[in-house]
Structure 1
């Protein structure tokens, strides 16, 4: 055995130690990237908030992570803030094609599918629910139970238009928290009654990831619907 091969790692000098340190950093970063990719691809996905229809819960330019295991292993509930594909063409057509970076991130699953449009709203009615506006004191009524909604944008009413709907099986009734600025289910009754297909739901908004000053969870406010009787089909 040569003297060189018999050297211990501790005696190989600063160059070896530097290389070993760099190698360990590269391995750690690679593992972190793989874990991030797996989490974002199979559990969470990033979305961008372009409008004020969900203020104050979500602000313009917020970035959120949505739990894409909902619906699925975890079911939807009234009050959940959901991301859904614009399968019913509520939004005007896209004017710009996605750039190369967006297309690449979409392909690997970090961003939503490039070229598709998405909306973010709060579930007010689940299948079988009857939702109407409004009670004598101006509140929404779900299954004959009036609800108090603390998430509504300050100064807004629960709805400036009257309606009464019963949600069909496989659908949901959604509304924005900024009721005066949200073209939600109320404004699209000419298309499938204003109801959104549960199959169009991409996930449940779970956290605000950016800007850093707004880090936090997206509250479903389950207490609002705690006394609403279940009429699901």
Structure 2
């Protein structure tokens, strides 16, 4: 009986080699690229999410809120609209308040929400439109806000906050906006820049969009009136 060890056949097996189908991987990469492109286009032209670190618009929008800004029709602005605008050419410094969430769950959820938004920083501001081009906007602590000679009802003012602490009387140039924060005692708005070049008037072309709704925190989700 033979005791020779078995020999392994190292020859190449007959038939075509087995290849790897890379088409699914390529298809996945294309789908990811298209999805990223669509998200970028939506963010640039349609809507964008912002994190608000300042209390200047409280109680309408509190520090730490996250809001969606609609960019379609950004230049169609009316009195009372809440807008985000690029203040590079008109406002010298941002009105910022650090946001700190409470508790582990709050930090985790707010961290996830932050991944979908950007901070209002040195260029972007969120305020309410008090006057448009051609309006005469005036205010005294006794009478409150007056636009074109008519007193303006402002139910959005922070409790205990007056319409203004110091009187002012301005005429808004065409193509410009006069903006105020709802929390007048804690808002660096057009009033703070009356002596600057441009008088604190925001060019309509600098409007990023209208604040349409709030999605964070969850217990305040909805429109600004909710």
What is the TM-score of this pair, normalised by structure 2?
A: 0.68
- Quick one: which of 89, 92, 98 aligns to 1:90? 92
Give me the whole-angstrom Cα distance separating, in 1, the residues matched to 2:182 and 2:159: 10
Which residue, 40, 43, 46 being the options, matches 2:49? 46
Alpha-carbon shift at residue 198 of structure 1 (Å): 1.0
More helix, by proportion: 1
Quote the Cα distance in structure 2 between the aligned partners of 1:195 and 1:165.
10
State yes or no: 1:59 paired with 2:72.
no
1:141 and 2:146 are equivalent in the alignment: yes
Would you say 1:125 and 2:140 are equivalent positions? Answer: no
Residue 80 of structure 2 is aligned to residue 69 of structure 1: no
Deviation at 1:152, TM superposition (A): 0.1
2:141 and 2:166 in contact (8 A); partners too: no
**Conserved 8 A contact 1:65-1:205:** yes
Residue correspondences, number: 178
Asked whether the equivalents of residues 83 and 203 of structure 1 are also in contact (C-alpha less than 8 Å), the reply is: yes
187-196 or 155-164: bigger deviation: 187-196
Deviation at 1:39, TM superposition (A): 3.6
Matches within 5 A, 1:58-207: 58-72=61-75, 75-87=76-88, 88-91=90-93, 117-134=123-140, 138-191=143-196, 192-207=198-213
Q: Deviations over 1:161-191 (max 9, x none)?
A: 1000000011100000000000111111122
Q: Secondary structure of the residue that 1:216 maps to in structure 2?
A: coil
Q: Distance in 2 between matches of 1:146 and 1:115?
A: 33
Give the RMSD, CA atoms, in angstroms.
3.2
The runs of 4+ residues in structure 1 deviating greater than 6 Å are 28-35, 112-115
- SS of alignment partner, residue 199 of structure 2: helix
| Structure with max Cα Rg | 2
| Counterpart Cα distance in 1 of 2:44 and 2:161 | 37
Consecutive unaligned residues in structure 1, runs of 5 or more: 1-27, 95-109, 220-233
Q: Which residue of 1 aligns with 2:111?
A: none
Structure 2 unaligned blocks of 5 or more:
1-30, 97-115
Q: Which moved more, 1:124-133 or 1:29-38?
A: 29-38
Give 3-state SS (helix, strand or coil) of 1:119's partner: strand
Equivalents in 1 of 2:47, 2:36: separation in Å? 14
Q: Does 1:213 align with 2:203?
A: no
State the TM-score, normalizing by the size of structure 1: 0.66
